[in-house]
Amino acid sequence: MTVMTRSLLVGVVLCAVCVVANGGEAAPAVRSIHELHARDIGGKDVALSKYAGRVLLIANVASECGYTDSGYDDLNALHERFHASGLQILAFPCNQFGAQEPGTNTQVLRFAHKKGAKFQLMDKINVNPPDQHPVYAYLTAQGRDQGPVQWNFEYFLVDAEGHVIRRYRTGTPLTSERAVEQIAAALEDARVYRAERRKQQEQRLQHKWRRPGDTGHHQEL
């Protein structure tokens, strides 16, 4: 496949995401999940740009699924282990698979508290059409493993720049050695990314405030 062909395919995918996210109306291509918004489980609008520089693990959850116990246990364990290092978990309740999340946001939150959830619960949404949420329109069109979500407790790992780097299908043990190593590697990449961004910002500030002809040295009197 030529570079031009690959570029055209990427363009088609991005355009499709935009059309789905806007009810069939064309819109600028979404280049990063940080360009999108979602509501938390309390109904507050969240600009996902607030997570720039952090690693996101995004899951569709349900309270009455056979994977509920293991899914919540894995998410709790990962939050406990990696949140301080920059991992942010966003869990979206969804009732599209077996009608296994029938409750309201309040009921979902009450259930999550019983499960000891410390990670961020989001608004109940559709992760597939019809009425697919823009976040999932973006997620499911990225990377090598594209396509609709198949069941509850699928996971997307998103890097510091807002791009999908891993997709874990239902039944994947997130606390397995392989998955933990992949998450840890993403967090290390994010740490390096944040350090480079800070350095660039410092350099821009120094350039902004340096006076013309100033060499940075002061002559002693």
The DSSP symbol for 103 reads S
For the record, the structure tokens of 163 come out as 């791009």
Q: Rounded CA gap, 66 and 43, in Å?
A: 27
Q: Rounded CA gap, 86 and 184, in Å?
A: 10
Angle at 88 between CA 102 and CA 198, to 5 degrees: 155
Place of tokens 């396509």: 147
Judge whether 65 counts as a catalytic residue: yes
Of 15, 18, 65, 94, which one is the catalytic site residue?
65
Torsion of the alpha carbons at 160, 164, 167 and 173, rounded to the nearest 10: 0
| Residue 70: how many other CB atoms lie within 10 Å | 15
CA atoms within 13 A on the CB side of 151: 12
Q: Rounded CA gap, 206 and 41, in Å?
A: 42
Of 42, 54, 46, 21, residue with least CA distance to 161: 54
For the record, the structure tokens of 111 come out as 């259930």
Residue 144, classified by CB atoms within 10 Å of its CB into exposed (0-12), middle (13-18) or buried (19+), is exposed
Catalytic residues: 65
